[in-house]
Structure 1
């Protein structure tokens, strides 16, 4: 007689439950783009969804409390000239969102408190550096205003959004499928069309590790874990969906490589670094699998699967500071349906006590940056600032940058009344001489023009004195004769 040993875990009984339809969002024209993107991004204030629009690209930004049916005329962020490919909320400012588009541009937007009341077409800053469509944008986890963009031109560019400057950039060997920052932002993991997984130094563009990933030709996804391990999802040569766990110091030998099922949808991993939970979602799937990651073999432990009757078009995950602690909610997902419905799905751990559950809610990432963009560019690394949720989440004050080169665009949206006008540089001596010469020429031309007009008047008056004629008209106003004077 065999005895089945059940692994002990506090997440063994986690279950997902959709909220009532009144607490969800409906009547949304979700984009029909086939790009492998989540099409959805969420934070504790807003829900952003890429939408379908004629003649360009746009996305909706809806306050979380505005549930129910969304009016078709609801204002959108509509500044791109091509379809929007990806969107990402800034982790250090819940009112700032970045978007990338088929028009080769990356734009950063400032969303007003309370949401939009009119269409937003003017970004805070526009980042132009790619030659082809930009399919991916990601914010640095701990450095303020540092944004990464990856395009179909095989370029990875890292920007200082606060000044609009390009900090670093390098060319990838092939088209980038996915990339992810490490926990402290000192490394960058990428997956590529050539099926390889690479670990980069984001400042120098140096390849630190490189290995063959999944054998299938379909896109692969990559995710950096808190402990330096790397999770990838992809396909086998027989089109079976797989996931693997590797060390950032040795990508060649995975700790585990597991096959899940046979399906066409690309597995998108979502990670909760606080409790080491891993969620797998895929476009076209009607389920969400979740796993727990441990330090012991087999490292990735299957927990359960949320089953649904309708497939998802895209998925977004709420940061931990936006979850409902009173219900022991450890994760909240926003599932987009092709019908235009956005379903809110809550994952909870059943607990009878009303007390704060310390084991479910350890310290989590705050909405303030640990370092500035200039410090990171100079070589400094830092893990994200952590806060406790025991007393509830309260938005932190925005971190002000001390930039000497250029003003911070995000913190200076409009000039103040008492600010002096910007001073212009004084032109050098040669430019002053040219400007004086131009003034003299303009004056001479004006004098000649005045003299010509006087001569024309003299000639005209002389002609009227010696010759002329009088026009005779009939009663219908037609010419019938002329009489000499």
Structure 2
């Protein structure tokens, strides 16, 4: 940092360069924060299907695992979480600590009843232009709109298929919700008319992931169980405008820049197995996809070319639920140095996006992830603690993770104060170990001395004793 301050003082670098260098340093210092945890308040049965938590369950955000998390993009203050038990909770990250200041408690929740969802939540997203409303999807085939203030549903759409993910365009004037369902067609729901407008047909397997372009309001990308990733222009009657091909590294421009050697865009597979994760970079120039072939691929969206970025052999991906990488905001890093966080089962892999270089592996302490507590209504808690989702907190350098054991993880930069606290804790632990070892040795010597002073010593042989 001193070098950056020096060149800044001479006017060689701009303030933006120093700011990004500082943000990158903090970004690389992210680690699990153990200051607070998320505790769902115990619920009482209301005569429907609501349940009461078992002893010890209050230390978890959701009783049967967290399937989805998201944070509003306006204030970066409100966090939504959806559970495998069909419950939904909203948390105020700035003002929802309990009396002990050690746990967040929800400012509102939707519990499992016969009037709400019957199965687990699959996706949550805030309304694109207003955090006072949000959408949720579920395994019970429905998509619902809720008020963030009352947590009451204002509309419900039954799609007759399991809904894996939903997406709203962050820039569009239209209010179309793209739905990835068990049906091989992408379903579009218009929030204005309250009806399913039309379907985008082309996939031959279930659609597991959808994502709107951040720069073109009518462009949509979808990933399917058939291994394909397709682009759609919802204004066209046909809809599909092309598919990605993992064998294509030159794109539509070809070897010579005029289409020489370019492959057909109407077929080809992006992955050799199920595709269950799609996300765009902020500038819309690249698309990141994940699949059951345990590969992460980065695509040039202008040409459709595979950039051939390689992320090594550590990638794990074997679930039908969405496994979507999280991209850090581009204003935190230097150009072409985008950072990606990948939920790799029980840990998080931090990569440089375009080079595929592993920066670090993030993992919560083992004592936080192992739990054998149970809920009478839901059975054994998931002890594998798989990470099911990631979300960035806007206007901050921190992100949050959803875990299948029912907890929510917080990841913040490790400051110098944290380092000193860890050093003091380790020093106290070492001193305690030394004192314990010395105490054990003193006790052993004392026992030997006591045995020697109490024992009567005689001298003699088997025939005669000497006194």
Provide TM-score, normalisation by structure 1.
Answer: 0.50
Residue in structure 2 matched with residue 93 of structure 1 by the alignment: 75
CA-CA distance at 1:215 after TM superposition: 0.6
Gaps of 5+ in 2: 1-23, 44-56, 245-267, 318-322, 356-393, 397-467
The C-alpha deviation readout for 1:198-241, integer Å capped at 9, x for no partner, is 2221243312222324112x4431111232111111143xxxx1
Residue in structure 2 matched with residue 133 of structure 1 by the alignment: 120
Residue in structure 1 matched with residue 405 of structure 2 by the alignment: none
CA-CA distance at 1:151 after TM superposition: 1.1
Residue in structure 1 matched with residue 163 of structure 2 by the alignment: 176
1:149 pairs with one of 125, 136, 157:
136
CA-CA distance at 1:166 after TM superposition: 2.3
Distance in 2 of aligned mates of 1:331 and 1:22: 12
Structure 1 runs (4+) greater than 3 angstroms displaced:
18-28, 112-117, 250-253, 260-265, 312-316
Residue in structure 2 matched with residue 456 of structure 1 by the alignment: none
Q: What is the 5 A alignment of 1:400-419?
A: none
Question: Structure 1 residues 324 and 114, CA, compared in 2 at 3 Å: closer, same or farther?
Answer: farther
Question: Structure 1 residues 318 and 235, CA, compared in 2 at 3 Å: closer, same or farther?
Answer: closer
Residue in structure 2 matched with residue 206 of structure 1 by the alignment: 195
Question: Structure 1 residues 175 and 130, CA, compared in 2 at 3 Å: closer, same or farther?
Answer: same
Distance in 1 of aligned mates of 2:328 and 2:59: 22
Residue in structure 1 matched with residue 209 of structure 2 by the alignment: 221
1:282 pairs with one of 274, 291, 307:
291
1:331 pairs with one of 330, 338, 353:
338
Distance in 1 of aligned mates of 2:73 and 2:33: 28
Aligned 8 A contact 2:97 2:103 in 1: no
The C-alpha deviation readout for 1:234-285, integer Å capped at 9, x for no partner, is 143xxxx111111113364411124336544434111124243211123662
Residue in structure 2 matched with residue 196 of structure 1 by the alignment: 185
Distance in 2 of aligned mates of 1:187 and 1:145: 18
Question: Structure 1 residues 347 and 220, CA, compared in 2 at 3 Å: closer, same or farther?
Answer: closer
2:176 pairs with one of 176, 181, 187:
187
2:242 pairs with one of 252, 256, 259:
256
The C-alpha deviation readout for 1:44-88, integer Å capped at 9, x for no partner, is xx9x9x9xx9x99xxxxxxxxxxxxxxxxxx99723222211111
Question: Structure 1 residues 102 and 169, CA, compared in 2 at 3 Å: closer, same or farther?
Answer: same
Aligned 8 A contact 1:89 1:96 in 2: yes
Distance in 2 of aligned mates of 1:187 and 1:78: 34
The C-alpha deviation readout for 1:151-195, integer Å capped at 9, x for no partner, is 122111111202323232221132212221123361111122121
RCO higher in structure (CA 8 A, sep ≥6):
2
Distance in 1 of aligned mates of 2:70 and 2:273: 25
Provide TM-score, normalisation by structure 2.
Answer: 0.52
CA-CA distance at 1:149 after TM superposition: 0.5
Q: What is the 5 A alignment of 1:255-404?
A: 255-258=241-244, 259-260=268-269, 263-282=272-291, 285=294, 287-294=295-302, 299-312=303-316, 314-320=323-329, 323-325=331-333, 327-328=334-335, 331-338=338-345, 340-347=346-353
CA-CA distance at 1:329 after TM superposition: 5.2
Aligned length: 283
CA-CA distance at 1:98 after TM superposition: 0.8
Query: Aligned with 2:310: secondary structure?
Result: strand
Compare the two structures and name the one with the higher helix fraction.
2
Aligned 8 A contact 1:95 1:110 in 2: yes
Question: Structure 1 residues 181 and 97, CA, compared in 2 at 3 Å: closer, same or farther?
Answer: same
Residue in structure 1 matched with residue 63 of structure 2 by the alignment: 81
Distance in 1 of aligned mates of 2:107 and 2:210: 30
CA-CA distance at 1:20 after TM superposition: 12
Distance in 2 of aligned mates of 1:319 and 1:114: 26
Distance in 2 of aligned mates of 1:262 and 1:110: 39
Distance in 2 of aligned mates of 1:329 and 1:261: 23
Question: Structure 1 residues 91 and 215, CA, compared in 2 at 3 Å: closer, same or farther?
Answer: same
Q: Does 1:232 align with 2:215?
A: no
Aligned 8 A contact 2:229 2:270 in 1: no
Query: Aligned with 1:79: secondary structure?
Result: coil
CA-CA distance at 1:95 after TM superposition: 2.9
Distance in 2 of aligned mates of 1:20 and 1:274: 23
Provide the alpha-carbon RMSD of the alignment: 4.1
The C-alpha deviation readout for 1:285-332, integer Å capped at 9, x for no partner, is 2x42212223xxxx53333323212014555424526x434x325532
